[in-house]
Structure 1
Amino acid sequence: MLKGFKDFIFRGNVIELAIAVVIGTAFTALVGAFTNNIVNPVLAAAGGADAGQGLGFPIWENNPATFVNFGNVITALITFLITAAVVYFIFVAPMNKVSEIMKRRLATEEPEEEPIPVDTALLVEIRDLLREATALAPRSAGTHAGLPEQKL
């Protein structure tokens, strides 16, 4: 278990994760600024001129802590959708495309021949030398040292 963690640390994934967190934090700040400064005022205006607190309603009139704010929920939803869309179109879709291209490229490449083991290569060489020697040697009357002739 510790070996797996050590491999994970030294593989470089931690650095990639750290970069992702920094980029994610910066992007969240950007989307937050957009929703707070553009979306929230539009939603507050939809709540009416006298609402003052945005799109929603108070449960008790004289207690502002009981205000049910639909505007903040809608803002959070819009923030989530914008973040998810940007992550998908900037990171996920291009990586899927690269992966698809790599799969196609690997599928079209001819597989490399596996190297012949040394012992098999030596046996093939011996076989070929025996064939040559048999082909060059004069044939006797059907026997070699008392054995019948065999084809290799």
Structure 2
Amino acid sequence: MSGFKQFLLRGNLVQLAVAVVIGAAFGALVTSFVTAFITPLVALIGGKQDYNGLSFSINGTRFPYGVFVTALISFLIVATVVYFFIVLPVAHLLERLTKAEEATEYPCPECLSDIPIHARRCKFCTTELPAPV
């Protein structure tokens, strides 16, 4: 029983559970945003927002391809919203934060290995380096 308790209380399992719960809540948030704002805009442009009724028949068998078209359009809209409203802003934010950090290493002019800024000699090729500025 103690092994099972250790398994449940391990950090990565708890982190995974939190990630799943937050991911589900975030997915619901994005879906509701797309449903409330983006899909009506697409309906204004395209004339329809639900293609579930589209189908064709072959020898009496009905193929409701409209369900797939609606799901495909929803997926593309959600992916576009996630990319432009989440991925790009976070990427720009991370880029700004990493630029703000001061560099601690630079490439050796001879062997191109990363060496500390204040080093006087490369630890890989032992080339003497100019004094740090």
Could you say which residue in structure 1 is the equivalent of 2:12?
Answer: 8
Trace 1:42-53 onto structure 2 (pairs within 5 A). 43=51
Q: Structure 1, residues 11-49: CA drift from partner, whole Å, max 9, x if none? A: x564354222112034335646848x9522xx47xxxxx
Paired position in structure 2 for 1:28:
31
Distance 2:58 2:26 in 1: 40
RMSD: 3.4
Cα distance in 2 for partners of 1:60, 1:76 equals 26
The CA distance in 1 between the partners of 2:21 and 2:32, in whole Å, is 17
Aligned AA (1:39)? Q
- Within the alignment, does 1:39 sit opposite 2:39 as a pair? no
Distance 2:92 2:13 in 1: 28
Letter in 1 for 2:49: V
Q: Which amino acid aligns with 2:23?
A: A
**Unpaired runs of 5+ in structure 2?**
1-5, 105-133
The share of aligned pairs that are identical, in percent, is 30
Structure 1: gaps (5+ residues): 45-53, 112-152
Q: Please show how residues 34-113 of structure 1 align to structure 2 within 5 Å.
A: 34=39, 38-40=48-50, 43=51, 54-61=53-60, 66-106=61-101, 109=102, 111=104
Assess, with a 3 A threshold, how the Cα gap between structure 1 residues 69 and 110 changes in structure 2: closer, same or farther. closer
Aligned mates of 1:19, 1:79 — CA distance in 2? 21
Evaluate the alpha carbon distance shift between residue 72 and residue 60 of structure 1 in structure 2; reply closer, same or farther with a 3 A threshold. same
Q: How far 1:79 moved relative to its partner?
A: 0.5
Aligned-partner residue type, residue 97 of structure 1: H
4+ long deviations beyond 4 Å? 29-35
> How does the TM-score come out when normalised to structure 1?
0.45
- Whichever structure has more helix as a proportion of its residues is 1
Q: Which is higher, the Rg of structure 1 or of structure 2?
A: 1
The CA distance in 2 between the partners of 1:30 and 1:67, in whole Å, is 33
SS of residue matched to 2:56: strand
SS of the residue corresponding to residue 39 of structure 1 reads coil
